[in-house]
Amino acid sequence: MWFTLRNGADVVVRPILPDDKERLVEAFARLSETSRYRRFGTPVRHLTDEQVRSLTEIDYDDHMAWVAVDPSVPGRPGLGVARYVRLPDEPTVAEAAVTVVDSHQGLGLGSILLGVLGLSAVAHGIRAFRAYVLEENDAVQELFTGLGASMHHDGSMLRVDVPLPEDPADLPDTPTGRVFRAVASHMLPPPDARYPGIGLPDG
């Protein structure tokens, strides 16, 4: 699926594939230390082979991830990823996270990725996202607040619970909510993101 960012650049968003291991490692290397810390809540210098495997070899149901790639550059480098992992003890809730490389932050890509992730989550029976974010991470807090999230302190982190309505029309009339509705109109009918290694093209 093609989307256009605020600066007019195009991006392609598609489910992550096992073949994306190198792309994921390369994109991680382009994250600043601050972005890495905000994503993991602890300093992370590199991803282990096991982490890379677990992040790219997924079941597309209980664990789903969408990647954004740059179609204008040879090799289509990664620009961002959004993923959810269903909570075993709360099957209608999934822990969610969104990461965008520093060069493409502030262009609306995070909202697009979260919108795509939310629609595929609803299609798989998930009714709420849960995220843990640093208190100083205002950008992500604003992103989730725009979807009607509630926030609670959980140790040094904020626990964020985001409702996922089945009908995108029920989303709040906020900048993030409007992006979600635009993404929904772009993607309808909702994606059945069960792609176990069938060799999806980048477009």
List pLDDT tens digits, range 18-69.
Answer: 999 999 999 999 988 888 777 776 667 788 999 999 999 999 999 999 999 9
Taking residues 150-155, what's their average pLDDT?
A: 87
pTM listed for this prediction: 0.85
| pLDDT tens per residue, range 158-193 | 899 999 998 888 888 888 888 888 888 776 544 444
What is the average pLDDT value for the chain, to the nearest integer?
86
- The identity of residue 33, as a single letter, is E
Q: Given this model, what pLDDT does residue 46 score? A: 85
**What tokens appear for 116 in the block?**
């795509």
What the block records as the tokens of 199 is 């060799």
For residue 190, the 8-state DSSP code is P
13, 1 Cβ separation under 8 angstroms: yes
Vertex 98: Cα angle to 95 and 103 (nearest 5): 170
pLDDT-based confidence at 129, cuts 50/70/90?
very high
Question: What's 7-51 look like in SS3?
Answer: CCCEEEEEECCHHHHHHHHHHHHCCCHHHHHHHHCCCCCCCCHHH
Mean pLDDT check: name the lowest of 10-19, 84-93, 123-132, 137-146.
137-146
User: Can you tell me which residue has the tokens 């909510």?
Assistant: 177
